[in-house]
Structure 1
Amino acid sequence: MKPGMSLIKHYLQFKDLRAEEYAYLFERTREIKKRFKNYEKYTPLTDRTLAMIFEKASTRTRVSFEAGMYQMGGSVVHLTTGDSQLGRSEPIEDSARVISRMVDIVMIRTYEQTKIERFAAYSRVPVINGLTNEYHPCQILADLFTYVEHRGTNVNCLKGKVVAWVGDGNNMANTWLQAAEVLGFTVHVSTPSGYEIDPAIAGVKNPACYKTFKDPMEACHGADLVTTDVWTSMGWEAENEERLKAFADWRVDAEMMAAAKPDALFMHCLPAHRGEEVTADVIDGPQSVVWDEAENRMHVQKALMEYLLLGRIG
């Protein structure tokens, strides 16, 4: 925050909000989603404008934020790398100063976390992380709400639960660790050698919030939720063949799901590659909630934008 700027709440990492704030957000998400399903008009963000800046392409992020903002009564400005390349045509700090004078809230999907942090430092409006190389907080927000929706009534149902992360120690894994620390559950992490999580990047202070396993079957044992991601994330395509070999034993299949609790859920942030990180019978099976998870991106982001712009309602 630069001198002279009023206090603004950004959402750049999962740990930017406290447990009680997530409890509130899940309550608001439940209400906002209920109104959506009942075709009840709810437009608290009328005359508010969201700027979306995409340096990394996306289907779900764009549709969920854009549709959500329109449903809440606001408008959207969509910028891609062809329209605005952060730090290339002008310094990120200058882009932040200009764009934030013209809109009410900004969502950025980019590469380095430092880019979004620099933008937020000079922004006059809230900034949301739509994905960076290091973190993906909106996705984990949707995943956790989906778990609560299926297995409880509020955020407290997450306490003491076990989430098995099988695959790459990437931005999703980092964010799961932050969520575990904030909300009181444990992540069992299993990655191939050379693709481990970096606790320093994850930014967790409590080592008890996660355990690492060399064997993905052991990580899944007794888990309440099993989740994974593509083996080759955007930006790492040159390593694809190497990763296919390294990750061969980290495919979530029926045997892994059988090692988890009988009522364990399966999640995937999508897009998914059936036959690589997950088998078709798992992602299309009865324990999978990936489609609810995908839809809930829109609902949790609507609640998040409402909170960042209007504060608590009621």
Structure 2
Amino acid sequence: MAETAARTDAPIDPIALRRAFGTFVTGVTVITTRDEDGSPRGMTANSFTSVSLDPPLLLVCVAKAASSHQAFTNAGCFAVNILHEGQVDISGTFASKSPDKFQSVTHDHIHTGAPVLTDSLTWFDCTTHSAVDAGDHTVLIGQVRAFGTSPTAPLGFCRGRYASVKDPLPAGWLASHGVIIGYLIEAGDGLLLRSDGRGGWVLPSARRRKADSQLVVEGGDALRLVPEETFLYSVFDVADSDPGYLVYRARLAGEGEEVNLPADLRFFGIDDLPYEAIATHELRSMLRRYVRERQAGRFGIYMDSDDGGRVAMIDGEARAWIQASQDQGQ
């Protein structure tokens, strides 16, 4: 029989209550945002709940005592990153007071500008729908603007410790919910494409964006990339029943060195891309935009939308975030 309080009107013991709450098995998330000067902020949290599909809403609870509470309540946007079973160390880092939490994770801006941990099990990029005062916490309700997921097993949490979740993925569950991570890989005047086995060509892809410095290609060597020249280039859907695309632009490191490429990978000259053999209109349009921007030496980032999408042009040379932050603070 479950243990109960002796009297309903007796004072609630907060320690005992915390332990009781802790018997509910949850996942583990890292919630992220940016403060007023643009610096990324994040913390580990397991108080996450889906709220609504129409409109798409979720909620997280942020303790008022948290050092990043003000950043979350003021930013107008945040991301929820659900961790997978291999990210116990990430959970610990973001639960700490470390000033360099984001140095150990790969993160990007997808839609709102909040840092998205791209190696996580699932991420949701949200604008703040509302904030509700709730005792010693603020409940943030977010409207989902973009999301991505993967078939990795989730990281569980119960009774103050991490828990394993076995066999989490029913067969076929991810078939229409995946995100393809594609790469525009440059080398000299060429661009790398992969044969689809049916006479067509697609972009090389990765299971998830593991690191800026390399791309593991099935059946061949890991391709070394130039970290300073790896950027998000395009985010779009093809159809409701197909995966969406995150496309990165990258440059092959050590150009001129011999690379062991599988037979289905081939470099095409920038003026000789096989547009007629590209499977979808969206990919063909993206490649034509890429060629125009490469010839002009000025690139943009494309985000899909109902009215045809948005392109934000990038000006200037790339700089490390730490250096840019220091320059802004001077």
TM band (smaller chain)? under 0.3
Larger RCO of the pair (alpha carbons < 8 Å, separation 6+):
1
Larger radius of gyration: 2
Q: Report the structure, 1 or 2, having the larger helix content.
A: 1
How does the TM-score come out when normalised to structure 1? 0.27
How does the TM-score come out when normalised to structure 2? 0.26
